[in-house]
A and B are shown apart, each in its own frame.
Chain A
Amino acid sequence: MSTERWKDDEALLESLRKGAPGAVDELLRLYQGKIFNLAMSILKNESDAEEAAQDVFMTVIRKADTFQGNSAFYSWIYRICVNTCLMRLRGKRRNETVSIEEFMPVFTDEGMHTSPMDDWSKEVERDALNEELGRMIRKYTEELSEKYRVVFVLSDVEGLSNEETARILGLTVPAIKSRLHRARLYLREQLSRYLREGKAG
């Protein structure tokens, strides 16, 4: 993360603690888009995400005083957001999610690929495909169960490091790496199938 952001965060935290005028506005300006989107990607429903975002900001304002400076401010906010959203999910009937196992690569007992592989890496370099692929990546990500989705969103969408993601979720770095890798393998397989079907159709 840039030092710029870090400085912004430090100043913001300080003014939140003091209850300085404009601190809440600054907090909203810097984070409402990020928090709403993170909540959307976990909850996948606009009104739930909106309520979660309200809770997140109230918690941040209430607890700014007790925040220990041993992690970055933004990772603290993200953690509050993730926890708030997961609590909300807990009470709900789960949305349909795909089983990630069905999209893991298949190998023979000797650990060889069972079938030939399409190399579509050149194909997707065409700019014309960008919008469509972006839409598909979002769709496939949304279909992941939250266990993977949260890790994937924090790492690959928010651009946080494995260490930061691990801190936010209270998991170990190897656990994050493994989930992230599986999420990427899943996404690769989904894109493969999508492009193959596209060709067939």
Chain B
Amino acid sequence: MNCKELAYMLADYCNGLMDPRLREELDVHLAKCEPCMAFTKTFQATCEKTRKLREEIEYAIPPDVCERLETFVRSAALKYPEKVEEYRDQVERDRREKVAGLVRAATSGNLSSAMALLAESHCAACPECREYFDALRNTGTPGAGEPPEGVRSHLIALMQALPPGEEFFLA
């Protein structure tokens, strides 16, 4: 072992995680190398001092910062539940519109090719949706109201499966 190797092994040496045979080798080097002994001792002292500093550290936060932070977080947290509700409503409205649009496009035969392909392969495996799509095509009018919940969730999943940038209808 040389001094350079020793310097880069000190972390394990100091925290006692070193393999005993390596440790022995390191001790042999230390015993006959004065610079390394000084280096090791001062390295240990550095770690020790930092550790002490950590014990003494108080998580001081300036009183004015503390006050502003508390006021901000508390008032923002109060408003937060309303914001979540708003957001959820918005998402739900968007979804309903999209599903309605998809139903219209399917009824009038205006599905984009990507969407048609997705719907076709899905319907091959899902009788409920197959029946729904068949009914749409046969009647030629959009189904009254919203599709049944099971179908609706599949339609949403289908639209989410579209590659980014692809629309579900023909432009």
Contact = CB atoms under 8 A, between A and B. Distances in A.
Interface stretch (A72-80, A89-97, A186-194): A186-194
A185 B36 CA distance: 13
Interface string B24-54: 0000000001111111011111110111111
Contacts of B38: 116-119, 121
B68 A50 contact: yes
Interface residues of A, number: 51
B7 A137 contact: no
B4 A188 contact: no
Contacts of B46: 184, 187-188, 191
Interface stretch (A5-13, A32-40, A164-172): A32-40
A177 to B, nearest CB: 6
A181 B80 contact: no
Nearest to A34: B59
A130 interface: yes
A33 B61 contact: yes
A24 B75 CA distance: 10
B50 A180 contact: no
Given A113-B36, A185-B43, A53 B69 contact: yes
Contact of B69 (A54, A115, A137, A187): A54
12 contacts: A25-B74, A57-B69, A105-B7, A107-B7, A121-B38, A133-B49, A156-B47, A156-B54, A157-B57, A181-B8, A188-B42, A188-B46
Interface of B: 2-5, 7-8, 10-11, 33-39, 41-47, 49-54, 56-62, 65-66, 68-70, 72-74, 76-77, 80-81
